[in-house]
Structure 1
C-alpha cells in the first residue's frame, strides 16, 4: 500500500485533557506514524503518515472521537513538512 503524508487540522472544543492522548492512541492503533504539531483548546494539528485509507479512518475516528470533546471540522492538507 502506498504511503501518504497529511496534516489534519482539527477544530472545535478540544480542551479536554483526554483528547491528545486519545489522538495518539488512535493513530497508533491504526498503525499510523503521527506527530502533534500544535495543540490548544480550539485547534490541534497532527501530521500523519501511512496508507491513505487509514488516514481516512483517523479522520473519521477524530470526528466521532471521545465524548468530552466536540469536533467542528477537520481540514486535511497533503505533504506536510515531515521532520
Structure 2
C-alpha cells in the first residue's frame, strides 16, 4: 500500500500501526516521508479495505490524496 499526500505528521505512522493492529492486520513499513508512506499489509481483504478507508480519512493533521494498492509476491490477502 502506498499512501500519497501531505502525510508529514509524525503521528500518522503510529496511527496506522495502531489501527492495523486493532483490525488484526500485520504491517511492515518500508518508507515514510512528507509525501509518501509505503507499507505492506497482510490479512483478510475486507479488513485491508477498512484500513484503507481509515487512512483515506486519516487524522486531522494529514491530507491523503491517493492510496495505491497492489498484490505482492502472489499473496491473495492483499487487494490490487
Give the RMSD, CA atoms, in angstroms.
1.6
Q: Indicate the residue corresponding to 2:34 in structure 1.
A: 41
Alpha-carbon deviation of 1:38? 0.6
Q: Is 1:18 paired with 2:22? A: no
- The reply on whether 1:59 has 2:48 as its aligned counterpart is no
Aligned residue for 1:78, secondary structure, equals coil
Structure with greater contact order relative to length (CA < 8 Å, sep ≥ 6): 1
| In 1: Cα distance, 2:46 partner to 2:40 partner | 15
TM-score computed with the length of structure 2 as normaliser = 0.88
3-state SS of paired residue (2:16): helix
What does the per-residue CA deviation read over 1:9-63, in whole Å, with 9 as the maximum and x for residues that have no partner? 0000001110110010010011000011110000001100000000000100000
Matched residue pairs, number? 75
3-state SS of paired residue (1:63)? helix
